[in-house]
């Protein structure tokens, strides 16, 4: 019997091994075809009472319920003398309680249910998110809409939030990466609502009336899009949500808009002194909006330049070839309604800061002057095509993605046409957009580091830093007063 089983297993494995062709190298692999059509936002779009819009997907794989409300409100809409109000509202929308419940009662209950309820504010959108077990859907939903519609911003949690935020302010010049990203934007956008920062005075000035006013101005049905997924019946959920928001009044949507004209900073080196062992570097200029028709070509171009991690030119040169850095590459950052930024970046020991900058600048130059190779194009285009389905891996993330499309006014067939637009990118368009959107002659090189060793350089680039352009010494502001530090 035992011998029979052994023979059977041996035959079995023989069959198994014959079932696949022996492959020696990756190029021999032949993959079966895989067709994938992205979900259509229209199939999930739901209209609720009072013109609340939403995207809902039933997902019965786990007994969970997730819902988010995306609100057209963010830090950008906060006046200069009330900077930090977005952080305060983020900390108090839940903690400050509602008309009928203290914040601690709401939080205690959510935690007892093993759920989570969170609110965070971004530059132009804010999100209230709830996740509970589906058996607790009704109770969770009640708390969710109570917080969204009826926050009270009670004094004690408000005062505590202000103390915590002011104490955190003391640290904001300590992390070199945080200093770099903040000051880089300050140079590129100048004095603009996009770069305003809170200080102790602005935080202290924020009161309950300010929070109430923000809530009244932005938190109403037409200014909100919902995203929900989980173990529920869609029509039942719709009815429940409609009951919750029945009395919610609309207002006229009034979103502030700001100038899109930004000063042209003088190219050169902008140095911020910190006594650390590395230089943290960002170099570049303003970028584009993601509704620009060239967006897809820019994505492919930047993948090849420095966005495609180890497959990209900057990473290969600065990290793999030279061993100069752990983090290096290039990125286009996008923001809703305003141009984003373009930057090449690296963090490297002080003596190789200048050399690493030179290598990155060479790559900016090269991608403008020479066409990229067929192999580079193939890798970049295939990456976007083959990884496309990953966007829709989580039902809740998919619903939020669709809500975001609608919020930012992008076309609803954005994902349906996405792959065709990537396929349409050619070597010629890559070079064209490199020339159009990368400008080495206008580059701001910002360094946070220790000046003397950075300026001295090393064997391969002996300095001084003014070989890279005129040096501007940037003084940080005292986070408590907003005044320049001496």
Partner 1 sequence: MKRTLILLFTLLTFASLIVAAEIELGVKEHVLSNGLKILMIQKSGVPRVVCHIYYKVGSINERPGITGLAHLHEHMMFKGTEMMGVTDFEKDDAINKKIDELVDKIYREKFWKASGGDEEKIAPWQKEYDELVKAEKQYIIKDDLWTLYMKNGGTGLNASTGNETTGYYVTLPSNKVELQMLLESDRMLNAYFREFYSEKDVVMEERRLSENRPGFLFNEQVSAAFYAASPYQWSVLGWMDDLRKVTKADLIHFHNRYYVPNNAVAIYVGDLDPQNIIQMAEKYFGRVPKGPDVEPIRTYEPPQYSEKRVYGEGPAPTSLQMMFHTPQQGHPDVFPLSVLADVLGSGGGGGRGRFRGGGGGGTGRLYKILVQEKQMAVSVSARSRSQWYVGAFQFNATPRFDKNIQPEDLEKEIWAEIEKIEQEGVTPEEIQKAKNRFEAMFIRSLASTMSLARRVGGAELNQGWRSILTDLDDMKKVTNDDIKRVTAKYFVKDNSLTAIYRRKRGR
What is the footprint of partner 1 within residues 389-448 (CB under 8 A)? 389-390, 392-395
C-alpha–C-alpha distance, residues 81 and 70, integer Å: 26
CA 332 to chain centre: 11
C-alpha–C-alpha distance, residues 483 and 486, integer Å: 9
- Give, as one character, the DSSP assignment of residue 339: E
Query: Mind giving me the DSSP string for 229-283?
Result: EESS-HHHHHHHHHHHTTTPPP--------------PPPEEEEEE---SEEEEEE
Contact 76, 82 (CB under 8 A): no
Compute CA distances 75 → 66, 129, 213, 221, 419, whole Å.
25, 18, 14, 20, 33
- The residue among 48 and 303 lying less far from partner 1, judged by its C-beta, is 303
Question: Does position 6 bind partner 1 by CB under 8 A?
Answer: no
Contact 77, 218 (CB under 8 A): yes
Closest approach of Cβ 386 to partner 1, in Å? 2
Return the half-sphere exposure (C-beta side, CA atoms, 13 A cut-off) of residue 164. 11
Pairing of strands 278-286, 444-449: antiparallel
Contact 408, 232 (CB under 8 A): no
Closest approach of Cβ 280 to partner 1, in Å? 8
Residues numbered 20-79 forming contacts with partner 1, rule: CB under 8 A: 20, 22-26, 29, 31-34, 36, 61-64
Question: Does position 472 bind partner 1 by CB under 8 A?
Answer: no
Closest approach of Cβ 393 to partner 1, in Å? 5
Binding mask 279-308 for partner 1 (x = CB under 8 A): -----------------------------x
Binding mask 305-344 for partner 1 (x = CB under 8 A): ---xxxx---xx--xxxxxxxxx-----------------
- Give, as one character, the DSSP assignment of residue 170: T
Question: Does position 277 bind partner 1 by CB under 8 A?
Answer: yes
- The residue among 20 and 209 lying less far from partner 1, judged by its C-beta, is 20
Closest approach of Cβ 258 to partner 1, in Å? 33
Question: Does position 104 bind partner 1 by CB under 8 A?
Answer: yes
Q: Which two tokens stand for residue 174?
A: 């300590």
Q: Which two tokens stand for residue 236?
A: 């039942």
Residues numbered 132-161 forming contacts with partner 1, rule: CB under 8 A: 132-133, 156, 160
Question: Does position 250 bind partner 1 by CB under 8 A?
Answer: no
- The residue among 49 and 385 lying less far from partner 1, judged by its C-beta, is 385
Binding mask 363-392 for partner 1 (x = CB under 8 A): ---------------xx--xx-xxxxxx-x
Q: How many residues are given for the chain?
A: 486
- The residue among 8 and 428 lying less far from partner 1, judged by its C-beta, is 8
- The residue among 127 and 443 lying less far from partner 1, judged by its C-beta, is 127
């Amino acid at each position: 019997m035992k011998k029979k089983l052994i023979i059977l297993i041996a035959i079995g494995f023989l069959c198994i091994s014959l079932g696949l062709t022996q492959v020696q190298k990756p190029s021999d692999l032949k993959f079966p075809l895989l067709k994938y059509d992205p979900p259509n936002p229209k199939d999930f779009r739901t209209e609720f009472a009072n013109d609340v819009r939403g995207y809902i997907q039933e997902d019965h794989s786990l007994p969970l319920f997730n819902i988010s409300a995306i609100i057209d409100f963010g830090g950008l809409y906060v006046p200069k003398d009330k900077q930090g109000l977005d952080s305060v509202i983020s900390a108090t929308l839940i903690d400050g309680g509602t008309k009928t419940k203290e914040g601690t009662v709401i939080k205690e209950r959510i935690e007892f249910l093993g759920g989570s309820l969170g609110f965070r504010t971004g530059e132009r959108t804010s999100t209230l998110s709830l996740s509970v077990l589906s058996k607790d859907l009704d109770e969770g939903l009640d708390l969710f809409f109570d917080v969204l519609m009826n926050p009270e911003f009670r004094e004690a949690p408000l005062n505590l939030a202000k103390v915590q935020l002011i104490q955190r302010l003391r640290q904001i010049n300590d992390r070199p990466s945080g200093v770099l990203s903040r000051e880089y934007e300050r140079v590129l956008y100048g004095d603009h609502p996009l770069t305003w920062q809170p200080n102790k005075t602005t935080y202290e000035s924020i009161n309950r009336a300010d929070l109430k006013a923000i809530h009244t101005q932005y938190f109403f049905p037409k200014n909100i899009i919902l995203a929900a997924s989980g173990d529920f019946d869609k029509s039942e959920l719709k009815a429940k949500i409609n009951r919750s928001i029945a009395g919610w009044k609309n207002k006229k949507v009034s979103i502030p808009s700001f100038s899109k004209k930004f000063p042209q900073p003088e190219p050169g080196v902008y140095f911020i002194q910190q006594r650390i062992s590395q230089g943290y570097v960002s170099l570049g200029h303003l970028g584009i909006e993601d509704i620009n028709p060239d967006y897809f070509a820019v994505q492919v171009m930047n993948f090849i330049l420095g966005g495609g991690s180890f497959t990209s030119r900057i990473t290969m040169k600065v990290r793999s070839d030279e061993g100069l850095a752990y983090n290096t590459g290039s990125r286009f950052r996008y923001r809703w309604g305003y141009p984003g930024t373009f930057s090449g970046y690296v963090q490297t020991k002080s003596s190789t800061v200048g050399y690493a900058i030179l290598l990155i600048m060479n790559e900016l130059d090269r991608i403008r002057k020479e066409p990229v190779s067929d192999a580079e194009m193939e890798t970049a285009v295939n990456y976007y095509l083959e990884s496309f389905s990953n966007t829709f891996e989580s039902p809740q993330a998919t619903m939020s993605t669709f809500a975001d499309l609608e919020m930012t006014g992008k076309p609803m067939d954005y994902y349906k046409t996405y792959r065709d637009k990537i396929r349409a990118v050619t070597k010629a368009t890559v070079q064209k957009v490199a020339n159009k959107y990368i400008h080495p002659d206008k580059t701001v090189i910002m360094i946070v580091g220790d000046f003397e060793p950075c300026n001295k350089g090393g064997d391969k680039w002996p300095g001084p830093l003014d070989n890279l352009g005129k040096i501007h010494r940037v003084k940080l502001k005292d986070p408590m007063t907003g005044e320049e530090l001496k």
